[in-house]
Amino acid sequence: MSTRTRPRAHPDDDTTTYREALREGLREALASDDRVFLMGEDVGRYGGCFGVSLGLLEEFGPDRVRDTPLSESAFVGAGIGAALAGMRPVVEIMTVNFSLLALDQILNNAATLRHMSGGQLGVPLVIRMTTGAGRQLAAQHSHSLEGWYAHIPGLRVLAPATIDDARHVLSAALDDPDPVLLFEHGSLYNAAGTLDPAVQQVDLDRAAVRREGTDVTVVAYGGCVSKALEAAEELAGEGISAEVVDLRTLRPLDDATFVGSVRRTHRAVVVDEGWRSGSLSAEIESRICEQAFFELDAPVERVCSAEVPIPYARRLEEAALPQPAGIAAAARRVVS
């Protein structure tokens, strides 16, 4: 993986942004399967509120890149209905905060219909949305609620953290016979790197070890992976070797990879941009304790968002979120 995080893509070099990688995945899906269509608020003429679908309307027309009214429940539910009828809809919700207006459809229909119908009705639907903070958008545009969705049986929850994952996540999601939620961290869209042309697909069922290490395992996902890598770099300077595991899939969790890593390092730090109380980080810590308690040399540490609605002011927002310094500090505590 040759991704480097940079503020902007340079149009004249061979780097690709996370945004462009997602768009390339969408373009490929639309071009290769008639059943695929994209729908959501401003995905067409506007080009997607984060610019992911820019240009796709011109390429594929308004039937397949479909602007919807501001009706999260209706268009997510319509995606479910179309999936029931054999289509492969990709629905974009601007941010996870607004997905709550469609939560009924996602939980009570998409996740549930297969079971309630005794296996007769699958919902092969992909829902994309932004998550996370870091852009001073204040509370109603900044929350990280993917852990809530990871609570729900019947859903698959993915959080691509790298350019390659962003490029290939959609084909993996569309292959799934069940509803898949894709969480795109808002601060990653401009992240740029070089796509590895040798990679034609990614195994999103497996967590990925992004950096190998021997002293402590740092488990992270989505927008926190690069922060964990930054912390690992800082720790390396102090002679602490941190292994960084990127979960990629928040449901179902790939316990084997992160528990396996902890068995080697005997120490763990879990990073989660969600709030600590009742969070995904709690689940991960619990699984580590259930499966590798006697291999642990120290209690597991967690680095989460402060228990506060994400504030606007830059200094406060930074203080509310997991940061490399906090991750490094937690790692130092567990290795000491």
Partner 1 sequence: MATAHGGTSAGTSQTKRPRRAHGPATPSRTPAAAHDLDLLRRMLLIRRFEERCVELYSAATIRGFVHLYIGEEAVAVGVHQALDEADAVVSTYREHGHALARGIPPEAVMAEMYGRTTGCSHGRGGSMHLFDADRRFYGGNAIVGGGLPLAAGLALADRLRGEPRVTCCFFGDGAFAEGEFHETANLAALWGLPVLFVCENNLYAMGTALAREHAQTDLAMRAASYGMAAWAVDGMDVHAVEKATRGAVESVRAGNGPHFLEMRTYRFRAHSMYDPDRYRPKGEIEEWKRHDPVTGLADGMRAAGLLDAAALEDLEHQVAEEIDHAVRAAERAPEEPAEDLLLHVTGRHEEARA
Is 117 a binding residue for partner 1 by CB under 8 A? The answer is yes
128 in contact with partner 1 (CB under 8 A)? no
Q: Tell me whether residue 233 is one of the annotated catalytic residues.
A: no
Nearest distance from residue 111's CB to partner 1, in Å? 9
Q: Rounded distance, CA 137 to CA 143, Å?
A: 10
Q: Considering the complex, state which of residue 74 and residue 138 has its C-beta at the smaller distance from partner 1.
A: 74
Alpha helices in 85-162 (DSSP H): 96-99, 103, 113-116, 146-149
Least gap, CB of 64 to partner 1 (angstroms): 8
Report how far residue 114's alpha carbon sits from residue 135's, in angstroms, rounded to the nearest whole number: 38
* 178 or 295: CB nearest partner 1: 178
Alpha carbons 318 and 303: distance in angstroms, whole number: 13
CA 261 to chain centroid, in Å, comes to: 21
Q: Residue 78 or 282: which CB sits closer to partner 1?
A: 78
10 part of the active site: no
252 upstream amide cis, omega within 30 of 0: yes
Quick check: helix, strand or coil at residue 317? Answer: helix
CB of 152 to partner 1, least distance (A): 10
Q: Which is nearer to partner 1, 79 or 186 (CB)?
A: 79
Complex with partner 1: residue 83 or 159, whichever CB lies closer: 83
Number of residues that bind partner 1 (CB under 8 A): 41
Angstrom distance (rounded) from CA 112 to CA 152 = 9
For partner 1, the closer CB: 122 or 260: 122
Considering only residues 74-93, where is the footprint of partner 1 by CB under 8 A?
A: 74-87, 89
Which one of the listed residues 41, 72, 234, 243 is annotated catalytic?
72
Q: How far apart are the first and last CA of the chain?
A: 31
Residue 8: CB minimum distance to partner 1, A: 37
Among 12-20, 100-108, 135-143, 220-228, the segment contacting partner 1 (CB under 8 A): 100-108
Least distance (Å) from partner 1 to the CB of residue 120? Answer: 4
Closer to partner 1 by CB, 49 or 103: give it: 103
For the bound state, the minimum distance from the C-beta of residue 130 to partner 1, rounded and expressed in Å, comes to 22
Are 99 and 40 contacting, i.e. CB atoms less than 8 angstroms apart? no
**Most distant CA pair in the chain, distance:** 59
Site for partner 1 in 163-182 (CB under 8 A): 176-178
Query: Residues 169, 208: contact at Cβ < 8 Å?
Result: no
From the CB of 252, what's the least distance to partner 1, in Å?
Answer: 9
Can you read off the two tokens belonging to residue 211? 């950096």
* CB neighbour burial string for 168-177, b if at least 16 within 10 angstroms, e if fewer: bbbbbbbeee
Q: Which residues partner with 220 through β-bridges?
A: 246
Q: Which of 18, 37, 183, 275 binds partner 1 (CB under 8 A)?
A: 37
Here's the x/- map for partner 1, 275-294, by CB under 8 A: it reads as --------------------
> Is residue 44 a contact point for partner 1 (CB under 8 A)?
no
The phi, psi pair for 33, rounded to 5°, reads -145, 115
DSSP-based three-state secondary structure for 245: strand
d(Cα 125, Cα 181) in Å, to the nearest integer? 8
Closest-CA residue to 174 (of 182, 163, 162): 182
Q: Which of 49, 54, 100, 121 binds partner 1 (CB under 8 A)?
A: 121
Residue 100 contacts partner 1 per CB under 8 A: no
How far is residue 228 from each of residues 60, 233, 242, measured CA to CA in Å?
39, 9, 9
Residues with catalytic roles: 72, 141
- By CB under 8 A, name the binding residues for partner 1: 37, 63, 68-69, 71, 73-87, 89, 104-105, 108-109, 113-122, 153-154, 156, 176-178
